[in-house]
Amino acid sequence: MKLKAFMPGMILDELADAVGGYDNVSMEMSDRATYGVDYFWLSRMWQDRGEVPPMPDWIVRPGATEEVSKILKIANYYKIPLHTWGGGSGSQGGALPMSGGILMDMKRMCKLIEIDEISRTITAEAGMIFQQLEWYANEKGYSCQHIPSCLTCGTIGGALAHRGIGIMSGKYGKIDDQCLSMEVVLSNGDIINTLPVPKHAAGPDLNQIFIGSEGTLGVITKATFKLFEQPEERRFHAFLFPDKNSGYMAGRDIMQKVKPSILRFYDEAETTSIIKKIIGFEKKGCFMNLAVEGIKRIVDIEMEIILEIAEKWGAEDLGSDYGEKWFKNRITFFYPGHIMDIPQMFGTMDTVATYANVEKIYLAMKKAIYDKYGDKVRYISHSSHWYEWGCMNYTRFIVDPPNVPQDPEEARRLHNEIWNIGVRAAMANGGVINDHHGIGLKLSRLMKEQYGPAMQVMEALKNQLDPNGIMNPYKLGL
Report if residue 161 touches ligand FAD, rule: CB under 6 A. Answer: yes
Three-class HEC string of the chain: CCCCCHHHHHHHHHHHHHCCCHHHEECCHHHHHHCCCCCCHHHHHHHHCCCCCCCCCEEECCCCHHHHHHHHHHHHHHCCCEEEECCCCCCCCCCCCCCCCEEEECCCCCCEEEEECCCCEEEEECCCEHHHHHHHHHHCCEECCCCCCCCCCCEHHHHHHCCCCCCCHHHHCCHHHHEEEEEEECCCCCEEECCCCCCCCCCCCCHHHHCCCCCCCCEEEEEEEECEECCCEEEEEEEEECCHHHHHHHHHHHHHHCCCCEEEEECHHHHHHHHHHHHCCCCCCEEEEEEEEECHHHHHHHHHHHHHHHHHCCCEECCCHHHHHHHHCCCHHHCECCECCCCCEEEECCEEEEHHHHHHHHHHHHHHHHHHHHHHCEEEEEECCECCCEEEEEEEEEECCCCCCCCHHHHHHHHHHHHHHHHHHHHHCCCECCCCCCCCCCCHHHHHHHHHHHHHHHHHHHHHHCCCCCECCCCCCC
Query: Which amino acid is it at 45?
Result: M
Query: Which one of residues 24, 25, 34, 39 is an interface residue with ligand FAD (CB under 6 A)?
Result: 39
Query: Which one of residues 82, 159, 274, 418 is an interface residue with ligand FAD (CB under 6 A)?
Result: 159
Query: Which one of residues 155, 181, 429, 450 is an interface residue with ligand FAD (CB under 6 A)?
Result: 155
Judged by CB under 6 A, the number of residues near ligand FAD is 38
**Which residues, including other chains, have CB under 8 Å from residue 135's CB and lie 6 or more apart?**
none
Query: How far is Cα 38 from Cα 86, in angstroms, rounded to an integer?
Result: 10
Report if residue 162 touches ligand FAD, rule: CB under 6 A. Answer: yes
**Which residues, including other chains, have CB under 8 Å from residue 460's CB and lie 6 or more apart?**
none
Q: Which residue number is nearest to ligand FAD in terms of Cβ?
A: 158
Report if residue 157 touches ligand FAD, rule: CB under 6 A. Answer: yes
- Residue 209, judged by CB atoms within 10 A of its CB (0-12, 13-18, 19+), counts as middle
Report if residue 261 touches ligand FAD, rule: CB under 6 A. Answer: no
Closest CB to ligand FAD among residues 157, 422: 157
Query: Which one of residues 38, 267, 302, 466 is an interface residue with ligand FAD (CB under 6 A)?
Result: 38
Closest CB to ligand FAD among residues 129, 423: 129
Report if residue 377 touches ligand FAD, rule: CB under 6 A. Answer: no
Report if residue 164 touches ligand FAD, rule: CB under 6 A. Answer: yes
Report if residue 154 touches ligand FAD, rule: CB under 6 A. Answer: yes
Query: Which one of residues 173, 215, 405, 422 is an interface residue with ligand FAD (CB under 6 A)?
Result: 215
Strands 102-105 and 82-85: parallel
Report if residue 137 touches ligand FAD, rule: CB under 6 A. Answer: no
Report if residue 54 touches ligand FAD, rule: CB under 6 A. Answer: no
Report if residue 126 touches ligand FAD, rule: CB under 6 A. Answer: yes
Report if residue 214 touches ligand FAD, rule: CB under 6 A. Answer: yes
Query: Which amino acid is it at 469?
Result: G
Instruction: Kindly state the smallest distance separating residue 103's Cβ from ligand FAD, in Å.
Output: 9
Query: Which one of residues 22, 135, 334, 335 is an interface residue with ligand FAD (CB under 6 A)?
Result: 334
Report if residue 271 touches ligand FAD, rule: CB under 6 A. Answer: no
Report if residue 61 touches ligand FAD, rule: CB under 6 A. Answer: no
Instruction: Kindly state the smallest distance separating residue 435's Cβ from ligand FAD, in Å.
Output: 9
Stretch that binds ligand FAD, among 45-53, 88-96, 353-361, 366-374 (CB under 6 A): 88-96
Q: In the beta sheet, which residues pair with residue 336? A: 339
Report if residue 385 touches ligand FAD, rule: CB under 6 A. Answer: no
- The answer to whether 132 touches 349, Cβ cutoff 8 Å, is no
Query: Which one of residues 75, 82, 95, 102 is an interface residue with ligand FAD (CB under 6 A)?
Result: 95
Instruction: Kindly state the smallest distance separating residue 107's Cβ from ligand FAD, in Å.
Output: 9
Report if residue 347 touches ligand FAD, rule: CB under 6 A. Answer: no
Closest CB to ligand FAD among residues 56, 405: 56
- The answer to whether 394 touches 342, Cβ cutoff 8 Å, is no
Closest CB to ligand FAD among residues 89, 246: 89
Query: Which one of residues 54, 88, 251, 477 is an interface residue with ligand FAD (CB under 6 A)?
Result: 88
Closest CB to ligand FAD among residues 81, 231: 81
Instruction: Kindly state the smallest distance separating residue 371's Cβ from ligand FAD, in Å.
Output: 29
Report if residue 231 touches ligand FAD, rule: CB under 6 A. Answer: no
Report if residue 346 touches ligand FAD, rule: CB under 6 A. Answer: no
Report if residue 56 touches ligand FAD, rule: CB under 6 A. Answer: no
Torsion over CA of 168, 171, 173 and 178, rounded to 10 degrees?
-100
Report if residue 436 touches ligand FAD, rule: CB under 6 A. Answer: yes
Query: Which one of residues 47, 149, 273, 468 is an interface residue with ligand FAD (CB under 6 A)?
Result: 149
Instruction: Kindly state the smallest distance separating residue 89's Cβ from ligand FAD, in Å.
Output: 3
Q: By the criterion CB under 6 A, which residues form the site for ligand FAD?
A: 38-39, 83-91, 94-95, 106, 126, 148-150, 154-155, 157-159, 161-162, 164-165, 214-215, 219-220, 334, 436-438, 440, 472, 475
